[in-house]
């Protein structure tokens, strides 16, 4: 039996709707979902895709108390990790978050950076990483998590969102109980923008580039501890049942039946607090443009955006439509069950857009996979634009390769933005080769079968445990061995 951690809406998307859960069921493997929220009626009251799981249990949050100095120590570790590997992302985000710092905040940040500079050496860094884990253990009671895992006796734990604090107690408790933990690197920015990661037994990654980056950042990891699978989040883009036809898409977006539209994908509010004003200005510029005035502007909200900050921007133009990421807004910590219709709305909205616009968003990859032209906005030098957006993110380690690939085009002022939008309208195939190369390099193989490869990798790892005589014991179905080979085809 495998225990699957589902701390976020992205975990639900990849595991449940992405099809990994169904593949594991077909293999004959028992699966236990550890979910952020478990309804009283259990699996029976959840969407039908959850029925592929054997059972579900709550994802526990161990009681804890703040430990003096731990936040400072974690900051030093992030700084040291960035310095050791010369990551450009860290100073970019630090400058952004420090823009409103008080004198006290600046003194604290300077102390963290000094500590990071002193802790760059391997020995010192490793000791600090050990110390922060010890501090976490002293401040959190893991007994209930250990008892839960001990009662369930999973042969393996699958971490689906390795940078989530909600997974940490399960990773530590599993280690205490001798249960192997496999993790999936969820997003293309996780290795370079989220700081040091805890230790896992095995890693599932998108592509060879992500594998090589992981090996470079964590030299103690062996090549045999990494499997390239792709990511299920892009499987939807290759599945016909997740792409509505144009007429159905326009109806769902509440657009006229003959409408053409630009799709603007928003970023996280913490990085783009003035983005609604930028979008309102974009709508005004479109209305004044002879070539763009007949197009609608569909604004696809960030998955954790509650929509309230967009009310004014939407009301300032009659040709703006706000499209939510989910039918039900997620909780503050990012949890919601979502639905298959949510995924279909995402893919279909991109597929029928004339051009996709954003500020350094992952949606550039989604659009490129569906062969839609992508225009990014970097108005750092544009005086006639809001300033409260992290345009500097284009230089971050994960996003810079997209810009350099030519698969996305970057507009630096309003005139260039209009030119690039019109260029894409006139020739939707422009930059097609560059987009394809960008997708191949950044996403790996996007063929709609990543969920199958993830399931096959998990099954193979379980079989290795059997051969080595390891594992938590109990609950495994011997029929899975043959299914693992079928899953990998």
Spatial CA neighbour of 389 closest among 378, 375, 400: 378
- pLDDT per position as a tens digit, 136-192: 999 999 999 999 999 989 999 999 999 999 999 999 999 999 999 999 999 999 999
Residue 203 pLDDT class (50, 70, 90 cuts)? very high
Altogether, the residues listed in the chain come to a count of 489
How confident is the model at residue 475, as a pLDDT?
A: 40
Q: Where are the domains of the chain?
A: 2-64+140-234+448-487, 70-135, 242-443
Confidence of residue 334 (pLDDT cuts 50, 70, 90): low
Mean pLDDT in the chain? 92
Task: Please state the separation of Cα 270 from the chain's center in Å.
Answer: 16
Average of per-residue pLDDT across 468-475: 49
User: Which pLDDT score is estimated for 317?
Assistant: 86
> Residue 131: which pLDDT band, with cuts at 50, 70 and 90?
very high
Residue 333 has what pLDDT? Answer: 65
Q: What is the pLDDT of residue 468?
A: 72
Dig out the tokens for 208 from the structure. 């060879």
User: What's the CATH number for 2-64+140-234+448-487?
Assistant: 3.40.50.2000
66 pLDDT higher than 90:
no
Asked whether this chain's domains 2-64+140-234+448-487 and 242-443 adopt the same fold, the reply is yes
Nearest to 320 by CA among 344, 348, 347, 292: 292
Alpha-carbon separation of residue 482 from 28, 469, 486 (angstroms): 10, 19, 7
Distance set, CA 291 to CA 20, 49, 287, 420, 431 (Å): 44, 44, 9, 12, 20
- 258-315 residue pLDDT tens: 999 999 999 999 999 999 999 999 999 999 999 999 999 999 999 888 788 898 888 8
Which is higher by pLDDT, 314 or 216? 216
Instruction: Give the pLDDT of residue 42.
Output: 79
Instruction: Provide the pLDDT for residue 478.
Output: 36
pLDDT of 38 strictly over 50: yes
In the chain, % of residues over pLDDT 70: 95
Q: Which of 99-108, 156-165, 310-319, 380-389 has the lowest mean pLDDT?
A: 310-319
Of 3.40.50.2000, 2.40.30.10, 3.30.365.10, 3.40.50.150, the CATH number of 242-443 is 3.40.50.2000
pLDDT-above-90 percentage for the chain? 83
Contacts of residue 210, defined as CB under 8 A and 6 or more positions apart, other chains included, come to 185, 188, 191, 228, 444
CA distance 46 to 38: 9
Q: Is the pLDDT of residue 488 over 70?
A: no
423: tokens are: 């260029």
């Amino acid at each position: 039996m495998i225990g699957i951690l589902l701390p976020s809406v992205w975990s639900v998307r990849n595991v449940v709707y992405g099809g990994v859960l169904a593949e594991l069921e077909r293999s004959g493997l028992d699966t236990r979902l550890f979910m952020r929220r478990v309804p009283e009626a259990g699996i029976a009251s959840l969407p039908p895709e959850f029925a592929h799981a054997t059972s579900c249990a709550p994802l526990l949050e161990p009681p804890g108390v703040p430990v003096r100095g731990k936040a400072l120590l974690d900051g030093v570790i992030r700084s040291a990790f960035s310095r050791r590997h010369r990551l450009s992302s860290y100073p970019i985000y630090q400058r952004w978050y420090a823009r409103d710092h008080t004198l006290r905040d600046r003194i604290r940040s300077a102390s963290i950076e000094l500590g990071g500079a002193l802790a760059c050496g391997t020995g010192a860094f490793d000791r600090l990483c050990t110390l922060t884990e010890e501090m976490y253990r002293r401040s959190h009671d893991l007994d209930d998590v250990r008892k839960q895992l001990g009662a369930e006796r999973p042969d393996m734990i699958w971490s689906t969102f390795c940078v989530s604090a909600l997974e940490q107690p399960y990773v530590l408790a599993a280690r205490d109980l001798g249960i192997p933990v496999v993790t999936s690197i969820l997003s293309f920015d996780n290795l370079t923008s989220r700081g040091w990661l805890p230790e896992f037994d095995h890693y599932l990654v998108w592509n060879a580039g992500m594998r090589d980056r992981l090996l470079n950042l964590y030299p103690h990891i062996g090549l045999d501890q990494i499997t390239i699978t792709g990511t299920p989040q892009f499987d939807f883009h290759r599945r016909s049942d997740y792409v509505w036809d144009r007429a159905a898409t326009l109806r769902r977006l509440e657009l006229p039946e003959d409408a053409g539209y630009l799709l603007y994908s928003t970023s996280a509010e913490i990085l783009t607090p003035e983005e609604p004003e930028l979008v309102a200005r974009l709508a005004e510029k479109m209305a004044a443009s002879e070539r763009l005035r007949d197009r609608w502007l569909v604004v696809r909200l960030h998955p954790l955006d509650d929509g309230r900050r967009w009310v004014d921007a939407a009301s300032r133009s009659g040709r703006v439509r706000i499209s939510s990421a989910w039918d039900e807004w997620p909780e503050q910590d990012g949890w919601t069950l979502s639905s298959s219709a949510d995924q279909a709305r995402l893919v279909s909205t991109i597929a029928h857009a004339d051009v996709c616009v954003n500020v350094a968003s992952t949606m550039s990859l989604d659009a490129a996979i569906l062969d839609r032209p992508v225009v990014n906005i970097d108005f750092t030098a544009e005086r006639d634009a809001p300033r409260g957006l992290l345009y500097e993110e284009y230089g971050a380690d994960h996003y810079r390769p997209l810009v350099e690939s030519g698969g996305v085009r970057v507009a630096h002022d309003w005139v260039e933005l209009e030119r690039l939008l019109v260029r894409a309208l006139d020739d939707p195939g422009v930059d097609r080769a560059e987009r394809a190369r960008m997708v191949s390099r950044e996403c790996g193989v996007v063929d709609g079968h990543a969920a199958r490869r993830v399931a096959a990798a998990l099954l193979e790892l379980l079989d290795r445990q059997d051969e080595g005589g390891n594992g938590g014991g109990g609950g495994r179905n011997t029929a899975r061995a043959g299914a693992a080979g079928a899953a990998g085809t």
